[in-house]
Amino acid sequence: MPNSKSASKRLRQNVTRRDRNRSVKSDLRTQLRKVRAAVAAGDVAAAEAGYILVAKKLDRAGSRSIMHRNTASRTKSRLQKAIKAVKQKSAE
């Protein structure tokens, strides 16, 4: 328990931020799962459409320090690589 007025305020702020960050992370994970499922199913159109949304959310999470910037960048790169592989497989 906080002992001072300022510590009480910090606790309230931390709880609010934690809830907001959790909601962003949860939404991000859901979108990532959808894109990965589309890639696994070989649905290039759905994967590309979902990737645009995921990339935006990853960039935003990275810039707000909800997730490290390099982690966001690495995730985007791996998704692009997977989508590209599915595209080439369907073209053959």
pLDDT at site 20: 96
Count Cβ neighbours within 10 Å for each residue of 8-34 and write b for 16 or more, e otherwise.
eeeeeeeeeeeeeeeebeeebeebbeb
The mean predicted confidence, pLDDT, of the chain is 96
The CATH number that applies at residue 85 is 1.20.58.110
Helix, strand or coil, per DSSP, at residue 44: helix
Cα–Cα distance, 15 to 33 (Å, whole number): 27
Whether the pLDDT of residue 33 is over 90: the answer is yes
Q: pTM to 2 decimals?
A: 0.86
User: Mind listing the pLDDT tens digit for each residue in 47-86?
Assistant: 999 999 999 999 999 999 999 999 999 999 999 999 999 9
> Is residue 92 predicted with pLDDT exceeding 80?
no
Burial (0-12, 13-18, 19+ Cβ within 10 Å), 60: middle
Q: What residue numbers bound the domain in which 56 lies? A: 5-91
